[in-house]
Amino acid sequence: MKRTSFLFSLLVILSSNSFSQATRRHLVPGDVYRIQTLSDANISPDGQWIAYTVSSIDSAKDKRNTDIWMVSLDGKQTVQLTSSPDNESNPRWSPDGKYISFTAARPSGGSQVWLLDRRGGEGVQLTNAKGDLNSYSWSPDGKKLALVMKDPKDTSKTKPPEPYIINKFRFKQDITGYQSDTSRTHLYLFDVASKKITQQLTSGIYSETDPTWSPDGTKISFVSNRTEDPDRNENTDIWIMDITKGAVAKKLTTWNGGDSDPQWSPDGKTIAYVRTTSDATFEMYDQTSLYIINANGGEPKPVTLTLDRPVTNPRWSRDGKSIAFLVADNMQRYVSSYDVAKGTLKTIARGDRSFSSIEAAPKGNWVAFMSEPQLPSELFAIEGSNVRRLTTEQNEFIDSIALATVEKFTSKSKDGTLVSGLIYYPPGMSKEKMPLIFYIHGGPAAQDEFTFDLTRQMFAAHGYAVAAVNYRGSLGRGIEFSRTISGNWGNKEVMDILGAADYLVAKGVADSARMGISGWSYGGILTDYTIASDTRFKVASSGAGVAAPLSLYGVDQYINQYVNEIGLPWKDNNIEKYLKLSYPFLHADRIKTPTQFMVGEKDFNVPAVGSEQMYQALRSLDIPTELLIYPGQYHGFTQPSFIKDRFERYFAWFDKYLKPLNKGNTTVSNN
């Protein structure tokens, strides 16, 4: 009787598990309202709690809302600390561990620092700054804050609007708009006890960012470009100054490229930072390496220059014996460390996944956000070689979704170059002769990684295989691989995309008669270049692209790239370069691919004119086309309903010309 009962119970459990697996549904555009984004982890002084932010969507208000949470280092306790309709961000622990500070624009509308007692209660406003508060940093003794604020200006609502008076070389920036005012961002010293700003540390015509306190609290390091005309270059340096009245900032680094992200060693003797590989004052395709320098000055020591891979996010261990950092390497982003005494490097955690935002934990351990192709970014503890998940509550619904499986492939381009890529297979479908969409990453100095990619997962859920190609110009394969497209856009990248297409067709993965292409930003630009070079793609969607660079000179935010990479249009026959790079527009009559164009109305990064011109060209040629301009949106869309709408319009457009695989709402496995 007991054996029969046991077998019956086992059958019920197995049946339940099978049913649970079989009823996993596919992603749908409406799921954009359910995905939550975790970021900005900060560890308590005792190392037992991590505060972080969670960004979720209020569907009724059609906007995002960010709250502050914390999780215990053992992962057993998770607490939501704020739940107001206002956004709270930048959580930081007070040095005594009693409070969590954050920034919020409540109720006046201007961002201020607030304090929240970790034992409970409501947040209390700490600062009442008149300028726009960008960020802040606690002094080691907890008595002061370093505030990063824009110079105060007249905000009187009764004052009539004035014209934009432009006098800067680089005068446009996405989201912030026209750069017409002369205000700068400076550092201020705030006294916690009196709740007053006691000192303006920096002033003048330059801006400062990234203040970090020396461990003894007597100095602050910061980043600033103090060249004659900062608008014309990216020559940032690290500076140090005492916090005493009348102190003068001292320049610590002298590299003509960019120095940034200064981090003091626990003993205050050394500063770790990242430096660009090139000493050019502007370099689109650069990558950063880790350096250390004596806090009193001297010759900086390269740590990772021989890696020939981008290094970011350096952080000292709590005992000062090592520095951890992130390395972008051929579709992975892994955690490595430098042993200060031995001068050696070692990998801490890697694999087909992507780490971000490292922070030091007790006993030489670390915490970091980590994502995988089937896992949105979550917080993990890294303990030796063990990677342990801490957060589980925010994206639980993903467990009920059948997601695409993702595999790496390597293709060979026409000139013999080996190129890495990722293929997303529709969940539960055959992997042979599939309708395939190339979704091309932007940048171009970026890389597609083994991380959760909502756009490609959404296309796969809709019944398409999706290919990601790390074309030349991408990061993760060394500086020369990235630089090879400088001033020569739409040539080798297109060759790499077409080589990947040839490979996937030859392998029997892609149906050559059902291939499409899409991308956003430089991915949209490469979409334009590709369909003007080859007619194999049956349908395309170009997002925030441009096909006539000459027409964007002085119109977008990339004036330094035009001047340094191509040259002034009226000098040295440079006009021929601009015309050559404008071949998708100037040879639009070669395009046969039905193409959809999308862009944000307020995009100053790649303005709408780039999409409008290509739409008008194809419309004039009677090639099937449509233009979608999203009101109030910048380069990156922020209105959730528009993000959902964009997916729906992608699908409607591609489905006209490519027949997606028969999509069910179930799959037997998510592996």
pLDDT at 398: 94
* pLDDT of 664 higher than 80: no
The predicted pLDDT at position 154 comes to 57
* Residue 166: band (very low, low, confident or very high) from pLDDT cuts 50, 70, 90: confident
pLDDT at position 162, please?
83
Rounded to whole angstroms, the Cα distance separating 51 from 450 reads 26
Reduced DSSP (H G I as helix, E B as strand, rest coil) percent helix, strand, coil of the chain, to 5? 20, 35, 45
3-state SS, residue 187: strand
Is 461 within the bounds of a domain?
A: yes
Task: Report the range of poorest mean pLDDT among 203-207, 454-458, 641-645.
Answer: 203-207
User: 3-state class of 282 per DSSP?
Assistant: coil
Q: What is the pLDDT of residue 276?
A: 96
Does a structural domain hold residue 32? no
pLDDT at 18 over 80: no
What is the mean pLDDT of the segment spanning 49-68? 95
Percent of the chain predicted with pLDDT > 90: 83
33-47, 275-289, 304-318, 534-548: which range is least confident on average? 275-289
Where does residue 534 rank: exposed (0-12), middle (13-18), buried (19+ CB within 10 A)?
middle
Domain that holds residue 416: 402-657
205 against 219, higher pLDDT: 219
Q: What is the mean pLDDT of residues 593-599?
A: 98
pLDDT at residue 15 greater than cutoff 90: no
- Measure the CA–CA gap between 604 and 594, rounded to whole angstroms: 26
How many structural domains comprise the chain? 1
Question: Given pLDDT bands bounded at 50, 70 and 90, which one contains residue 239?
Answer: very high
Distance separating the N- and C-terminal Cα atoms of the chain: 37
Max mean pLDDT range (96-110, 143-157, 191-205) = 191-205
Phi, psi dihedrals of residue 63, rounded to the nearest 5°: -155, 165
Q: What is the mean pLDDT of residues 283-303?
A: 96
Residue 16 has a pLDDT of: 40
Residue range 613-638, pLDDT digits in tens: 999 999 999 999 999 999 999 999 99
Specify if 2 maps to a domain.
no
Q: How far apart are CA 534 and CA 526, in angstroms?
A: 12
Position 480 in a domain: yes
- What's the CA angle centered on 613, arms 563 and 494, to 5 degrees? 65
Cα angle 240-241-243, degrees, rounded to a multiple of 5: 140
Confidence at residue 109, expressed as pLDDT on a 0 to 100 scale: 65
Q: State yes or no: pLDDT of 445 exceeds 70.
A: yes
Q: Which of 109-123, 152-166, 319-333 has the lowest mean pLDDT?
A: 152-166
Give the per-residue pLDDT at 108: 64
Convert the pLDDT of each residue in 380-434 to its tens digit.
999 998 999 999 989 999 999 999 999 999 999 999 999 999 999 999 888 889 9
Tokens at residue 414, please? 């026409």
> Does position 488 have pLDDT exceeding 60, yes or no?
yes
**Average pLDDT across the chain, whole number:** 92
Averaged pLDDT, 16-29: 68
Q: What pLDDT score was predicted for residue 660?
A: 84
Kindly indicate the confidence band of residue 144, based on its pLDDT and cuts at 50, 70 and 90.
very high
Residue 137, beta-bridge partner list: 146
Report pLDDT for 2: 38
Q: Is residue 511 part of a domain?
A: yes
Q: Tell me whether residue 623 is in a domain.
A: yes
* Reported confidence tier of residue 155, pLDDT bands at 50, 70, 90: low
Kindly indicate the confidence band of residue 377, based on its pLDDT and cuts at 50, 70 and 90: very high
Q: Which of these, 327, 367, 312, 321, lies nearest to 342 by C-alpha position?
A: 321
Residue 547, domain member (yes or no)? yes
- Separation of alpha carbons 543 and 527, rounded Å: 9
Burial pattern 102-112, b for ≥16 Cβ within 10 A else e, equals: bbbebeeeebb
**Does the residue 630 lie in any domain?**
yes
Q: What is the per-residue pLDDT for 121? A: 78
Distance of alpha carbon 91 from alpha carbon 68, whole angstroms: 7
List, for residues 460-482, the tens digit of each pLDDT value: 999 999 999 999 999 999 999 99
Amino acid type, 180: S
Tell me: pLDDT of 11 over 60.
no
- The domain spanning residue 591 has which CATH number? 3.40.50.1820
Peptide bond just before 631 cis, omega within 30 deg:
no
Q: Determine the Cα angle at 278 with ends 276 and 279, to 5°.
A: 100
